[in-house]
Structure 1
Amino acid sequence: MIGNGVVVDPAALLQEIDLLEGNGVSVWGRLFISNRAHLIFPYHRSLEKAWESSDHRGHREKIGTTARGIGPAYEDKAARRGIRLGDSVHEDNFRCLVEMAVQEKRAALRARGSELQMDAAEVAEQYLGFCRRLRPLIVNTSAFLNREMDAGRSVLLEGAQGTMLDVDHGTYPYVTSSSATAGGACTGLGIPPNRISGIAGVSKAYTTRVGNGPFPSEDKTDAGEVLRTRGHEYGSVTGRSRRCGWMDLPVLRYSASVNGLDSLIITKLDVLDTLDEIPVCVSYEYEGASFDEMPPEAEVLGRVCPIYRTFPGWKQSTFGLTRYSDLPQQARFYLEFIRDQVGVEIAVISTGPEREQSIILPGTRLEKLLPAPLLSP
């Protein structure tokens, strides 16, 4: 289910569908897309490239976007001039909307010294072709999901990006353009808050970031390179090296509070296996004062000094372990410290990239909420 909170590149989506179908994975009849989801057009990518390359941001760094047109598509949505997937049903009106949009973007790019080499009629026909192919998948996802839940079906929702990239609650302006917190599940799918019965937060056993923005616990030494190499920390879209650092408890506590987490899923524990020492950021120092809450201003967060508590490494492999009791004592101590400091139980620990390389702790809220097949390897 792709909800109304997502902006969709139909060409990229169809490419993925065709790839899956070509490998024997059936998609048609199993995937559904909201008729309210907004479309990403080629002019959105042109605008984003022009925006990132210009000097309009003054003293601020570039955001470091993926250049896929996502931000400008959300800008159009917020400005009430976006084009939605459901608009393609009325083809003549769709053509008019595309024509007006191309004219507007051409003027906007010209103001930044760029030219938009694009024929509106060609773009409209190309996108109508995409949308005709996708039409069997287009539904009112809000009505669909609420009917399924009324019938007693379990629904598992997965957000994109993370709390620190949320447009409201993240390290603004170094954020994405949508809601990446648990609250976004309601607005992005059209389901009421009282339908949500549990919220699990996913965090690596260390911290990473792609692109610019504040990162207090970043490690630019050889230890950070170990995290990057062992964790294969490269952007899935851009291939850029992710910035790597240590667990940041003020950030994790903030995320737990904003999202109302009742469970934690800790991933990539095995990446830490070879380290002699493992620092954990427990608080910050700024202008002579220490505090354990994350400041809301990106400029301040970028200048704080992290205060660390250092744990001895366990120096043995946790790769592929599936029982908590088999973890080295120091690994358990590390995890339990995080749990106690954040105040949220740990429900799952991943010890490798495969689904079965996970430790599922018994008796947690998450285990009770999810059907057994979802927790089974």
Structure 2
Amino acid sequence: MPTLAVVGLQWGDEGKGKIVDLLSSEAEIVVRGQGGNNAGHCVIADGKEYHFHLIPSGILSPAVICMIGGGVVIDPASLLKEMKELEDQNISFEGRLWISPYAHIVLPYHRLLDAQSEREKGGEAIGTTGRGIGPCYSDGVARLGIRICDFISPEIFKSKLRSILPIKNRFLEKSIEIEEIIDAYTIYAEKLKPFVKPLEVELASEIKRGRKILFEGAQGALLDISYGTYPFVTSSHTTSGGLALGAGVGPQSIERTLGVIKAYTTRVGNGPFPTEFHEGETSLDPKTAREFGTTTGRQRRMGWFDTVLVSHAIRLSGVTSLALTKLDVLDQLPTIKICTGYQLDGQKWTFPPPCIEDLERVTPIYEQVEGWQTNTSEIKKLEEFPKNVRLFLNRLESLLEISIDIVSFGPEREKTWKRKSFF
């Protein structure tokens, strides 16, 4: 059963898009199982830059079928816009994009309620992307959601909207008229209907046939709705288990899990960040490190690598192998810090405290390693890495007790070292 999940092990933005694009050349099917257009991947291939929010990054490999599972929340306008942008770059979707009828759709009131909620929270705001993802997932749990299967049936869509919209209007600062939604969304439905297929049935069949299937995660484990830095989290399960559920298959269908980590740590939005750089602590610059969100354009907060949080993420997803990205960002540092534990109230912690109030009070325990101060962007094989790079990688492997089998040292496909084939 050649199946592999790719999941982020930090707060998202680990470089999953590049890794999925790289491995898609070996895969036959790529499946997205959770999140929405709050996710953002940037992939550079053949000198071109591609941006993904809902469509699996595997679409760049012409022979790959891409599936959007029932655990994804879909903003139809955003999906169509993304498809158009990719079609303008000569990417074909014919016979290659499948959408689950079980997926919920994001509606205008979800975005409005998202923005309204953030404003009302003021200084306590989560720092969401404002795309309506949380309210859409909330509606699913409250049984007020509208799914793709409803959306592509005009009469069912209108009927459900007539029932739900008055409830939403009670909470909106300005009411929405039903015609405002119907007029636009009817057109969206007509355009997307040809891509809606019994994805879960087909996927189960392809797994039995032994097809090479890649499950593409969105966001990162530290944003998981249950096990992340709650409440500063996303609204879906970002682990391999959540990915299987969102794709409509059993957890045993995922044979191996590749966890993606940066050589340091970043976070967008609010929430605890134990290893965040203090002002003047390092020469690393968000601009040169390209640390701006694909979805929001917001500058990411930066910090040292945190083995406490990454080990937590590895446990959550049953990770079997690691991919380390953005090694080149550390190229010019004379010394590099690695967080190996926390001090809290006189005690050492090797796992993160569940309460963010405690996580905000921890003092990181660091060990320091020598930098390599060498350009790594032209390296082709492991033996060419400077000695201190290999020592850094070996130390992370030792602390995390898992093998680093992919190393990325630049945004382009070719700036990657891979220990083995994954299919």
Same fold (TM over 0.5): yes
Q: Which contiguous aligned blocks of 4+ residues in structure 1 show a shift greater than 4 angstroms?
A: none
Question: 2:140 matched to 1:77?
Answer: yes
Where 1:290 maps in the other structure, the secondary structure is: strand
Which residue in 1 is equivalent to 2:154?
91
What are the superposed Cα offsets for residues 66-110 of structure 1, whole Å, 9 maximum, x if unpaired?
00111100000111110001112432121021122221111012x
Structure 2: distance between partners of 1:84 and 1:320: 47
User: What amino acid sits opposite 2:218 in the alignment?
Assistant: A
Question: 2:287 matched to 1:229?
Answer: yes
Which residue in 2 is equivalent to 1:195?
253
Which residue in 1 is equivalent to 2:365?
307
Structure 2: distance between partners of 1:227 and 1:349: 21
User: What amino acid sits opposite 1:23 in the alignment?
Assistant: Q
Correspondences of 1:1-377 after superposition (within 5 Å):
1-55=67-121, 61-109=124-172, 114-116=173-175, 118-223=176-281, 226-362=284-420, 367=421, 369-370=422-423
Structure 2: distance between partners of 1:97 and 1:125: 15
Q: Provide closer, same or farther for how the CA distance between residues 174 and 248 of structure 1 changes in structure 2, counting only shifts above 3 A.
A: same
User: What amino acid sits opposite 1:14 in the alignment?
Assistant: L
Where 1:139 maps in the other structure, the secondary structure is: coil
Where 1:353 maps in the other structure, the secondary structure is: coil
Q: Provide closer, same or farther for how the CA distance between residues 88 and 291 of structure 1 changes in structure 2, counting only shifts above 3 A.
A: closer
Structure 2: distance between partners of 1:320 and 1:140: 45
TM-score by length of 1: 0.92
Higher gyration radius (CA):
1
* Structure with the bigger percentage of helix: 1
User: What amino acid sits opposite 1:104 in the alignment?
Assistant: I
Task: Give 1:151 shift.
Answer: 2.0
CA RMSD of aligned residues (A): 1.4
Structure 1: distance between partners of 2:266 and 2:282: 10
Indicate if the aligned counterparts of 1:95 and 1:121 stay in contact, CA closer than 8 A.
no
User: What amino acid sits opposite 1:32 in the alignment?
Assistant: W
What are the superposed Cα offsets for residues 152-183 of structure 1, whole Å, 9 maximum, x if unpaired?
21100110000000001100100000010110
Q: Which stretch shifts more, 192-201 or 120-129?
A: 120-129
Where 2:215 maps in the other structure, the secondary structure is: coil
Structure 2: distance between partners of 1:66 and 1:4: 21
Q: Which stretch shifts more, 33-42 or 13-22?
A: 13-22
Q: Which stretch shifts more, 65-74 or 123-132?
A: 123-132
Q: Which stretch shifts more, 32-41 or 135-144?
A: 135-144
Task: Give 1:221 shift.
Answer: 2.5
Structure 1: distance between partners of 2:136 and 2:86: 26
Where 1:264 maps in the other structure, the secondary structure is: strand
What are the superposed Cα offsets for residues 178-230 of structure 1, whole Å, 9 maximum, x if unpaired?
01011012110111122111100000000000000010000032355615233
Indicate if the aligned counterparts of 1:99 and 1:121 stay in contact, CA closer than 8 A.
no
Structure 2: distance between partners of 1:230 and 1:87: 46
Structure 2: distance between partners of 1:327 and 1:227: 23
Indicate if the aligned counterparts of 1:218 and 1:246 stay in contact, CA closer than 8 A.
yes
User: What amino acid sits opposite 2:100 in the alignment?
Assistant: S
* Structure with the bigger percentage of strand: 2
Where 1:157 maps in the other structure, the secondary structure is: strand
Indicate if the aligned counterparts of 2:321 and 2:405 stay in contact, CA closer than 8 A.
yes
Task: Give 1:149 shift.
Answer: 1.5
Where 1:310 maps in the other structure, the secondary structure is: strand
Indicate if the aligned counterparts of 1:205 and 1:268 stay in contact, CA closer than 8 A.
yes
* Gaps in structure 1 of 5+ consecutive residues: 371-377
Q: Which stretch shifts more, 261-270 or 286-295?
A: 286-295
Where 1:156 maps in the other structure, the secondary structure is: strand
Greater RCO structure (CA 8 Å; 6+ sep)? 2
Q: Which stretch shifts more, 313-322 or 346-355?
A: 313-322
Where 1:284 maps in the other structure, the secondary structure is: strand
Q: Provide closer, same or farther for how the CA distance between residues 121 and 96 of structure 1 changes in structure 2, counting only shifts above 3 A.
A: farther
TM-score by length of 2: 0.82
Instruction: Quote the sequence identity (%).
Output: 40
Structure 2: distance between partners of 1:119 and 1:322: 58
User: What amino acid sits opposite 1:13 in the alignment?
Assistant: L
Indicate if the aligned counterparts of 1:227 and 1:271 stay in contact, CA closer than 8 A.
no
User: What amino acid sits opposite 1:232 in the alignment?
Assistant: R
Q: Provide closer, same or farther for how the CA distance between residues 156 and 103 of structure 1 changes in structure 2, counting only shifts above 3 A.
A: same
Structure 1: distance between partners of 2:357 and 2:391: 34
Structure 2: distance between partners of 1:165 and 1:77: 19
Which residue in 2 is equivalent to 1:374?
none
Structure 1: distance between partners of 2:140 and 2:241: 19
